[in-house]
Amino acid sequence: MTIPLKDNKAFLILASVTLAVRLLFSWLDMSFLLSRVVDDAFYYFKTAHYIVTEGISTFDGINLTNGYHPLWMLCILPVFFFTKGSAELSIHLVMTLQVILLGGILFLFGKILYSRFGSPFPLIGLSVLLWPRFLSQTEYGLEAGLLILFLLISSSYALNNRIFTSQQDNGKFIWFGIILALVFLARLDSVFYLLSAAIYILSGIFVRSMGTHSQLIKPGLFKKILLIFIPASLIPLPYLAWNYFTFGHLTPISGSLKHSFPVPTFNPDYVIQFSEFFIIVIIAFAFLAALFFNKNSISKFIPDEDYRAVLTVLALYVVIHFFDTIFFMKWAVFRWHFAGYTVFLILVLPVLTGIAESFLKNSFKISLPQSAKTSLLYVIVVSALVFQVFSIRRSIDNQLQYECYKEALWMKENTGKDDIFMLEDAGIIAYFSERKVINIDGVINNFELQDYLKRREFQKYIHDKKIKYFVHHAFWNNPEIRSGKYDNYIFTSFSHLYNVPGGTIKFKRSDEIYRSPEYDHFGEKTVLIIWKIPETT
């Protein structure tokens, strides 16, 4: 169903303004863009440059790597092929691509909400998406926006073709399996979305909760599962095979370093650190509990069986994914890790607004007139826009990214083309310096580094790879280093795969070849330093 302009004028205007502003942002200078694009995005960009220019998957020009999600890499490769090495133009075009993805996101959830619930809900959904924690997912330069888009594509396709509630159209089940494969390749931990879809289809508990049939196995159930999950499994197979035969592991190095399965590493701090996403988890869990224990409590707000099915799968995905995060993600969890939760939050809004209205009416005998609802909605929209302004200002005040950019330009002008560097947050510096920069935390390296560190042979790795310079910036708890009033600095490496220290290296103050001015990093003061590695290493 199309979205009539007369019924959705406010949504279309706000969506258009959002896209126009984002497009403008995409073409501002690096001092602004580097406040919006995260350092990890440049792992993609530098690797993409090597893929299109040299035909190998490497970040540093030395080590092969698979430390990225494959579908986003495939999406940006044409950009780097077209720009032929223009570093800044490539970023502008990738950011423009993200605006196009955002347009698809706005169109899909607007269409879904309008066709099922009417004209107010697209604007309600947009007012939620505009909050910085959610909208920023679509501009990091990472795969988060692509994941949101494909989750919405899968939800829209499931709704339009009754994927979860019918067993009649074999071709549509195959196409849905293809979409699921793309969701998985967009971000690999969305395997939990595929798992949630399988659980829903197989589980008689959820079927009964939806108020359809009571039998556990219905005719054609297994055929439906095969038609969906054979393509969902076969399409990623070449990628997984490449991982295994090239690197010896099915999962990319980045996931292997961050994930501890099957050994649990309980991290309850994520609840506070990512509280806005934990709220979505609570909503998802409450939705599933209400559906299981009292299906009418949900059905009266969403009588559409197909929509309930889609929400159930998304809610399962959110809960399972967060459970995995709490118990098995041991390191380097950032906001984009939870990008998929945004889809559930937007699509569950009709339930939340229905519950809020019912609560006010039943508990306080308050029935808000339409004018009051409209005013409240516009207050939410304006609040979101105000917080966006503060978010942009805060990101600009965080100067790490731009200092990395300036350091990279210094390296490009003042070091040899064959010089090799090593550092942790290596993305921006490697991309703009046009030097070989080995990532020391390992997420865009490979398993060889981890084996060196396991043997505590960090210095041997430096020697074997002929690394000449070491770069570091995390000095917010070290005022002596920031001031330059120190004799020696000892860096301790760490293997995140084996959870052991990997060896140390010592630098003297006289080994410094570059020191940035002190700058602000989210309220902490620090500096960027380049040391020349001692000859004895």
Q: What pLDDT score was predicted for residue 217?
A: 53
**Distance of CA 374 to CAs 121, 123, 381, 444, Å?**
11, 10, 11, 48
| Calpha distance 438→45 (Å, rounded) | 15
Q: What is the pLDDT of residue 250?
A: 95
Structure tokens at 532: 């020349």
Task: Tell me which residue of 130, 131, 121, 185 sits closest to 154, measured CA to CA.
Answer: 185
| Coil, strand or helix at 492 | strand
Helix (H, G, I), strand (E, B) or coil at 477: coil
Q: Residue 248: exposed, middle, or buried by beta-carbon count in 10 A (0-12, 13-18, 19+)? A: exposed
Interatomic CA distance for residues 397 and 362, integer angstroms = 47
Strand 529-532 versus strand 469-472 pairing type: antiparallel
Please give the mean pLDDT across all residues of the chain: 91
Low-confidence spans in the chain with pLDDT less than 70 = 1-7, 204-219, 396-397, 537
> How many residues would you count in the chain?
537
Q: State the pLDDT at residue 205.
A: 40
488-495 and 436-439 strand pairing: unpaired
DSSP string, 43-101: HHHHHHHHHHHHSS-BSSSSSB---S-HHHHHHHHHHHHHHTT-HHHHHHHHHHHHHHH
Q: Check: CB of residue 212 under 8 Å from CB of residue 309.
A: no
Q: Which residues pair with 530 in a beta bridge?
A: 471, 514
- 529-532 and 512-515 as β-strands: parallel, antiparallel, unpaired? antiparallel
Cβ contacts of residue 466 below 8 Å, gap of 6+? 420
Instruction: Give CA–CA dist 85/91, Å, rounded.
Output: 11
Indicate if the alpha-carbon torsion angle 182, 102, 394, 484 is positive or negative. positive
Cα dihedral across residues 402, 403, 404, 408: positive or negative: positive
**Which two tokens mark 374?**
């409209």
355 Cβ neighbours under 8 A, 6+ residues apart: 301
Instruction: Name the β-bridge partners of 422.
Output: 438, 470
Peptide bond before 479: cis, by omega within 30 degrees of 0?
Answer: no
Of residues 299, 276, 295, the one with CA closest to residue 354: 299
For 354, the token pair is: 């229905």
pLDDT digits (tens, 9 = 90+) for 344-387: 999 999 999 988 888 777 777 777 777 777 777 778 888 888 88
Q: What pLDDT score was predicted for residue 288?
A: 96
The pLDDT score that the predictor gives to residue 374 is 74
Q: CA torsion angle for 390, 393, 397, 398 (degrees, to 10)?
A: 70
526 with 361: CB under 8 angstroms?
A: no
Sequence letter at residue 24: L
Cα(285)–Cα(291) distance, integer angstroms:
10
pLDDT of 218: 58
CA distance 159 to 161: 6
Per DSSP bridges, beta strands 524-526 and 500-508 are: unpaired
